[in-house]
Amino acid sequence: MNLDLVIAYGSAAEQLARRTAQLSGAEVVEVNRRLFPDGEQYVKVSGEVKGKDVAVFQSFAFHPDTLLVEYALIVDALKGMGCSRVIGVLPYLAYARQDERFNRGEPLSARVFASLIEATGTDEVFTVDMHLHRFHEIREVFSIPASNLTAMPLLAGHYLEKGGSPNALVVGPDSESRQWASKVSESLSSECVILEKERLGDRQVKVSELRGSNLGSAVIVDDMVSTGRTLLEVIGKLRRIGIERIDAIATHSLLVEDAFIRLRDAGLASLITTDTIENPHTKVSVAPLLARTLLEKYGGRG
Ligand code: R5P
């Protein structure tokens, strides 16, 4: 079965789009882009999309605002070419952590970002391990059909394939990580503990103490690693109770500044992340997950 969708891509998800197209037998339409001298973006889609559904891949890491405009331009170009529906395949959604007005005068950024995606004319959204904390379901954030897939079984599978212990203690750094950590502990059939985290600043967090464990290894599970400070704090707590081998699993590797070096220097055995954000440290592709999901819904001609 081939995918009855054409695939287009934004600049932050081209490789993932091509991998997914290869696995699903979908046709790819090329998207060319350049900057005007004043910094405005120009895009041009080549190919035939009239009357077809198009899956537009884009990821929103590092420069989410620019990437959102690029995505909006691509969607408008496709609609102008007479495509039928646009399915946003947006594996990393920015602004999802700002899911509350924490202080007076602040925006509800998660919802603003979702509304801007909807305003592009996108008909449906697929994402991966969205940071759902104060919103519990993706449909509370989007008003168009939206699905939140999980890469956790793929990540746990990779951990085991590379010699990770099926008995490792699975540790989630904060309450919202339970949704991801519990999936990994199901795949490993091991014990799962969830810590409490207090964020003291953009680069400073505190996590609760762990009780002693007679296990020799642990795997920390989170949705994303940005500055790496959350993982570093948990690594410190695990060392204090004598855990020797510590690995980490996170779907989205933002790895800003010197995060990767700090984690390596802290003795992290491995950091297993996916290509929702293109990054040299990525170990697992979510392309099979996306191809399978799209084929289930949009599989067509043989
Ligand atoms: C927030 O609660 C997220 O789930 C992650 O724990 C957080 O974004 C990681 O950020 P950092 O690597 O900067 O500590």
C-beta separation of 219 from 184 below 8 A: yes
Name the class of domain 6-150+286-298.
alpha beta
For 199, the token pair is 């964020």
DSSP letter assigned to residue 279:
-
C-beta separation of 180 from 221 below 8 A: yes
Domain extent listing, the chain: 6-150+286-298, 152-284
Q: How many angstroms does the Cα of residue 40 sit away from the middle of ligand 1?
A: 32
Residue spans of beta strands (DSSP E) within 36-153: 41-46, 54-57, 86-89, 124-128, 146-149
Looking at the DSSP bridge assignments, the partners of residue 159 are none
Atom of ligand 1 nearest to the CA of 173: 6
The domains spanning 6-150+286-298 and 152-284 adopt the same CATH topology:
yes
Per-residue model confidence as pLDDT tens for the chain (302 residues): 778 899 999 999 999 999 999 999 999 999 999 999 999 999 999 999 999 999 999 999 999 999 999 999 999 999 999 999 999 999 999 999 999 999 999 999 999 999 999 999 999 999 999 999 999 999 999 999 999 999 999 999 999 999 999 999 999 999 999 999 999 999 998 999 999 999 999 999 999 999 877 779 999 999 999 999 999 999 999 999 999 999 999 999 999 999 999 999 999 999 999 999 999 999 999 999 999 999 999 987 55
- Residue 233 Cβ < 6 Å to ligand 1: no
The pTM score is: 0.96
C-beta separation of 46 from 36 below 8 A: no
Catalytic residues: 197
Residue type (1 letter), 231: L
The residue contributing the CA closest to ligand 1 atom 5 is 224
- Residue 173 Cβ < 6 Å to ligand 1: yes
Assigned CATH for 152-284:
3.40.50.2020
Atom of ligand 1 nearest to the CA of 97: 1
C-beta separation of 177 from 150 below 8 A: no
